[in-house]
Amino acid sequence: MKTGVSYFGNRIPEHFVDRDLPDIIAHGCTYIVHTFSENDLQHYATSLKSMVTATHEAGLEAYIDPWGVGGVFGGEAYSEFLPNNLDAWQTKLDGTPVPMACLNAPMFREFMRTWVDAAVELGADVIFWDEPHLYASSGLNNSDRTCFCVVCKELFEAKYGKPMPTTLTSEVAEFREDTVVGFLSDMCAEVKARGQRNAVCLMPFDDGTHGVTDWVKVAAINGLDILGVTPFWQFFKQDRDAFVGHFVEKVVAVSKDYGLESQLWLQAFLVPTGEEAELVLTAEIASKAGVDSIAAWGFRGCDYMSSLRSERPEEVWRVIGETFRGLNQ
């Protein structure tokens, strides 16, 4: 069983090497997902490269995550691309732009190629495409979706031979899904051309809310190696067994059909006091379902990030270590 943890918030290589890396190893991790935000790209690439090198020297794999890049990946990091490229924003049905890059925008894809080059230069073993998604409001209004920008309208008309409807028709839903899949296909090809592996981690939805309904379309992407999911049942206020069970069975089945490594993420952030043991039970569900890899978000129960900090982060981290060491015995 492969076991990993996300790592962010520190960009001092000596601290990572002397304190955090030994701690991660002691907790049974075999890989680290290093976040690589736009801020990191601009200011901390050399520091991160040192940390990735240390990760390899310790015998662990290094995944690189486009954390919050363009507002279309998971993560709390801010994007500079967005205020500098207002024409590349996703657009709602009513023409209102939203601060997320359009996945079809040529300038965003070019920016992502630059990001890929930098991520590979860090020494990435795997590029971790973290919850790529389109905008969707928190409400139930299906018309409050994207993207209806000029580029998307032109692409829609070229594909379907008619103007893009002003409602969320089945063709528009299909186009949204194909937009996400097309973007990921492009990015995975870029990564493969540079000799690295690709992991796509999907959000725990299969109703098309954020773009993807048919996970098979993602699994079939040429150059994909790992398919993951983040069934954070506590965060989404769902029943643990039903929610985790559904998505782990789905990711395992689809991954097996396409020869991919399956991955499941544990919620190690915002864990309430007394619920730390749920991490063990969630991992057991995943392990029994046959998942290949389990990872935790994030290091030390996110105790260094106040907005994500678990109530007892030290206990969360202890349980993660106990769980991972048990899985790797």
Domains of the chain, start order: 2-84+104-133+199-327 (3.20.20.80)
Output DSSP code: residue 56: H
**pLDDT on residue 142:** 58
Which DSSP helix (H) or strand (E) runs through 202? strand 197-202
Token pair in block for residue 195: 């000799």
pLDDT on residue 137: 62
Burial class (CB in 10 A: 0-12, 13-18, 19+), 305: middle
pLDDT at 298: 97
Tell me how far CA of residue 226 lies from CA of 69, 133, 153, 260, in angstroms: 20, 18, 32, 5
- What is the residue-level pLDDT of the chain in tens, covering all 329 positions? 999 999 999 999 999 999 999 999 999 999 999 999 999 999 999 999 999 999 999 999 999 999 999 999 999 999 999 999 999 999 998 899 999 999 999 999 999 999 999 999 999 999 999 999 999 865 545 567 899 999 999 999 999 999 999 888 999 999 999 999 999 999 999 999 999 999 999 999 988 677 798 999 999 999 999 999 999 999 999 999 999 999 999 999 999 999 999 999 999 999 999 999 999 999 999 999 999 999 999 999 999 999 999 999 999 999 999 999 999 98
Looking at residue 143, its pLDDT comes to 62
Task: Give residue 329's pLDDT.
Answer: 82
Q: Which helix (H) or strand (E) holds 286?
A: helix 278-289
Assess whether the previous peptide bond of 201 is cis (omega < 30° from 0): no
Q: What is the pLDDT of residue 263?
A: 99
- pLDDT for 168: 85
pLDDT at 177: 95
This model's pTM is above 0.95: yes
**What distance in Å separates the CA atoms of residue 316 and residue 282, rounded to the nearest whole number?**
13
Q: Are 27 and 5 in contact (CB under 8 A)?
A: yes
- Token pair listed for 128: 């971790």
Q: Which residue has the tokens 């990946």?
A: 73
pLDDT at 155: 99
